[in-house]
Amino acid sequence: GKDLYSGASTDPLCIAITTIPDAILEDDEQLTVLIHSQNAAFTISSEESFTNITIQDNDFIEVSFENSLYVTDESSSNVNVCIEMVDGELERDVVIELTTISLISDEPLDFELLLSKPITFVYGQSASGNNKQCLDIGIVNDNILEGNENFSLQITAADAKVAHVIRGNAIVNIIEDISDSVEIGLSDELFIVEENEAFDVCIEIFTG
């Protein structure tokens, strides 16, 4: 306790309460300030004998894709992508949302389409320790000869006040499976034409 009224003065007396910045993202904290007196000359109002104080947390974390480019084979079935906390410490959960974006208009796509998929950094994680959340994004091996394909990754914070995104975009490069091929050949084994007749020789795709 701290003595406020120890003399005859009737002027209000105030005491400074210092909050401690801790650089830890946490829930808001509450404290209660009570007053009491051992002097019978003082009568303390029951309604004004205490006050509740809320300390609003203003800390945040910083997150980023671990890499700006991920390379995977079409036959790999998935690509592992990690998001890392590059600054901060958690005493509460924080949700980051991931979206996959096609860079081509062709269908079908060779990757799993995700829209604002939640990825949760949890209590106890910190930039100096366990700082990553990873997930597998599905890759489709479609046996279609189409060349390499790229798609984009994007992360955003569900609450931008508590999570700042440093590197929010990355690219995944899918290397075409070399086993994807097509079989082609002439449409006919024998052509019989007149001497002065124009004709077409056609090449067909038989498989693939």
With a cut of 90, say whether residue 21 has pLDDT above it: no
Question: Which strands make up the sheet holding 132-138, listed edge to edge?
Answer: 132-138, 78-87, 61-65, 163-167
Alpha carbons 85 and 65: distance in angstroms, whole number = 9
Q: Which two tokens stand for residue 39?
A: 């002097």
With a cut of 60, say whether residue 181 has pLDDT above it: no
Across the range 12-30, mean pLDDT stands at 84
Supply the pLDDT for residue 57: 86
Which percentage of the chain shows pLDDT scores above 90? 42
Where are the strands (E) in 88-199, listed by range? Answer: 94-102, 117-121, 132-138, 149-157, 163-167, 169-175, 183-186
Across the range 61-78, mean pLDDT stands at 94
**What is the pLDDT of the chain when averaged over all its residues?**
83
Alpha carbons 157 and 136: distance in angstroms, whole number = 19
Give the closest residue to 135 by CA, choosing from 91, 89, 97, 88: 97
Amino acid identity of 127? A
Task: With beta carbons less than 8 A apart as the criterion, state whether 66 and 84 touch.
Answer: yes
Tens digits of residue pLDDT in 28-65 = 888 888 887 777 667 777 767 788 999 888 899 999 99
Tens digits of residue pLDDT in 101-143 = 998 776 678 889 999 999 999 999 999 999 999 999 999 887 7
Alpha carbons 185 and 145: distance in angstroms, whole number = 17
Across the range 150-178, mean pLDDT stands at 92
Where are the strands (E) in the chain, listed by range? Answer: 29-34, 50-55, 61-65, 69-73, 78-87, 94-102, 117-121, 132-138, 149-157, 163-167, 169-175, 183-186, 203-207
Amino acid identity of 46? S
With a cut of 60, say whether residue 3 has pLDDT above it: no
With a cut of 70, say whether residue 78 has pLDDT above it: yes
Supply the pLDDT for residue 18: 87
Beta 69-73 vs 169-175: how paired, if at all?
parallel
Tell whether pTM > 0.85: no
C-alpha 196, offset from chain centre: 70
* pLDDT range class, residue 187, cuts 50, 70, 90: low
With a cut of 80, say whether residue 184 has pLDDT above it: no
With a cut of 90, say whether residue 68 has pLDDT above it: yes
Alpha carbons 11 and 125: distance in angstroms, whole number = 49
Supply the pLDDT for residue 109: 82
Alpha carbons 92 and 24: distance in angstroms, whole number = 9
Fill in the DSSP letter of residue 171. E
Supply the pLDDT for residue 84: 97
With a cut of 70, say whether residue 179 has pLDDT above it: no
